[in-house]
């Protein structure tokens, strides 16, 4: 039997693929685009698997996803649509969790890709500013700036999210 050409890669993807796909979704806001992003990142990482597997392969894949997302965004810039007010909500909704997640998805779509990536890394992945800066290949100050600007923008386009997150204790 032949030796596996990329030892450990299949196990890595099986074990961490779902978490990586969630991050890809948060970066893109679309399930199909997230699958494409993850697949493209894994294909790139596979070419350098021996080097990536010596360190932290998950961080390598996440960084690759971020850089690919930035590259795709630069190629396909789409004009943003800003709305004056969020849609009205009537009474207590039994599907409030779903509505909250959908509202967050819409609000995240209004951020720049860098702001979105920083907020995902800082608040969803729970990375420190230094870890996020290392993953994104920028300074801690840049991470702080994008986090601040992203949160200000989220608060302005979707102020209802701030109250919803306080009440539910998070979005996970």
Query: What are the tens digits of pLDDT across the range 53-101?
Result: 787 888 888 889 998 988 776 666 555 566 677 656 555 556 667 777 7
Q: Are residues 53 and 117 in the same domain?
A: no
Q: Are residues 172 and 96 in the same domain?
A: yes
Q: Are residues 61 and 135 in the same domain?
A: no
DSSP conformation class of 7? T
pLDDT given for residue 166 in this prediction = 44
The domain of 135 spans 91-172
Q: What's the CA gap between 172 and 164, in Å, rounded?
A: 12
* Residue 63 dihedral angles phi and psi, to the nearest 5°: -65, -40
The structure tokens 């969790």 sit at 97
Q: Are residues 65 and 17 in the same domain?
A: yes
pLDDT band at 124 (very low <50, low <70, confident <90, very high): confident
Q: What's the CA gap between 120 and 127, in Å, rounded?
A: 9
- Please count the structural domains in the chain: 2
* N- to C-terminal Cα separation, the chain: 44
Contacts of residue 106, defined as CB under 8 A and 6 or more positions apart, other chains included, come to 158
Cα angle value 165/168/169 (rounded, 5°): 75
Q: Over 70: is that where the pLDDT of 127 sits?
A: yes
**164 domain-assigned:** yes
Higher pLDDT, 74 or 109: 109
Among 10, 44, 78, where does a domain finish? Answer: 78
The CA-atom distances, in angstroms, between 22 and each of 19, 29, 55, 62, 100 are: 5, 10, 22, 11, 17
**85 domain-assigned:** no
Q: Are residues 135 and 156 in the same domain?
A: yes
**83 domain-assigned:** no
Q: Are residues 73 and 114 in the same domain?
A: no
Query: What are the tens digits of pLDDT across the range 11-50?
Result: 988 999 999 999 999 888 889 989 999 999 999 988 888 8
Furthest C-alpha separation in the chain: 64
* Residue 139 dihedral angles phi and psi, to the nearest 5°: -85, 160
pTM of the model as a whole: 0.52
Among 57, 78, 99, where does a domain finish? Answer: 78
pLDDT given for residue 165 in this prediction = 47
CATH number, domain of 101, equals: 1.10.10.10
- Binning the chain into helix, strand and coil, the percentages to the nearest 5 are 70, 0, 30
């Amino acid at each position: 039997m032949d030796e596996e050409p990329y030892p450990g890669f299949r196990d890595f993807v099986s074990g961490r693929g779902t978490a990586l796909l969630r991050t890809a979704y948060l970066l893109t806001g679309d399930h199909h685009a997230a699958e494409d992003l993850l697949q493209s990142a894994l294909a790139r990482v596979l070419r350098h698997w021996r080097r990536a597997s010596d360190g932290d392969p998950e961080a390598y894949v996440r960084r690759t996803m971020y850089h690919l997302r930035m590259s795709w965004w630069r190629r396909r810039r789409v004009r943003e649509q800003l709305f004056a007010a969020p849609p009205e909500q009537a009474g207590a909704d039994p599907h409030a969790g779903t509505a909250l997640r959908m509202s967050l998805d819409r609000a995240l779509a209004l951020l720049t890709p860098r702001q979105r990536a920083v907020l995902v890394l800082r608040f969803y992945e729970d990375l420190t500013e230094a870890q996020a800066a290392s993953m994104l290949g920028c300074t801690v100050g840049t991470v702080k700036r994008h986090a601040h600007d992203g949160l200000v923008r989220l608060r302005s386009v979707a102020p209802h999210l701030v109250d919803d997150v306080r009440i539910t204790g998070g979005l996970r």
